[in-house]
Amino acid sequence: MDAPQAFPYPIAPRTLKKWNEKFLARSDLGNGTIRFAFTYYGSTCNNGGTPFSAVLHADIAIQGASPVVESAWIEIPADQREAASKMCAAPGEGPEDAGPFFEALAAPADFIGRTLDETILEDRPQNFAGCFCGKPHVNQKWTVALSTMRFALTEGP
């Protein structure tokens, strides 16, 4: 019998191991679902690259061969909104004007209901800048977070 094929992560497994240990929190919701929170440290795309953090949340249902994403959203914590409001996609001059931008990030992700594996491996535009200013930027952050979550489920502690 052949050994099972390793999952083709788009990120090096040793990096995922590190991110799992440093940036990922998880809690069991008690119904076969695990809630993950991945803390992402990025920077704005303008104003000299102002650092900020965001939390990518996902509820992953453990069912069948591949877990399913039940819910997923991005949170810019209140104490990070001043810095995050400097992204070029955030309108206005500060966090009070950037509310619609933050609300759009907090909306349910477009891959809810799909398996974790197919979502991670989907070929979609990605941008590796540290901001969340466009769909390719957001896609890349989700690839990072979901890959780390999958690693935690299958290979982590």
- What tokens appear for 119 in the block? 């979502």
Q: Give the side-chain half-sphere CA count within 13 A for 148.
A: 26
- Provide the whole-model pTM: 0.93
The per-residue pLDDT for range 116-157, each reduced to its tens digit, is 999 999 999 998 889 999 999 999 999 999 999 999 998 866
Coil, strand or helix at 134:
coil
User: Is residue 130 packed enough to be buried (19+ CB in 10 Å), middle (13-18) or exposed (0-12)?
Assistant: buried
The per-residue pLDDT for range 10-46, each reduced to its tens digit, is 999 999 999 999 999 999 998 899 999 999 999 998 7
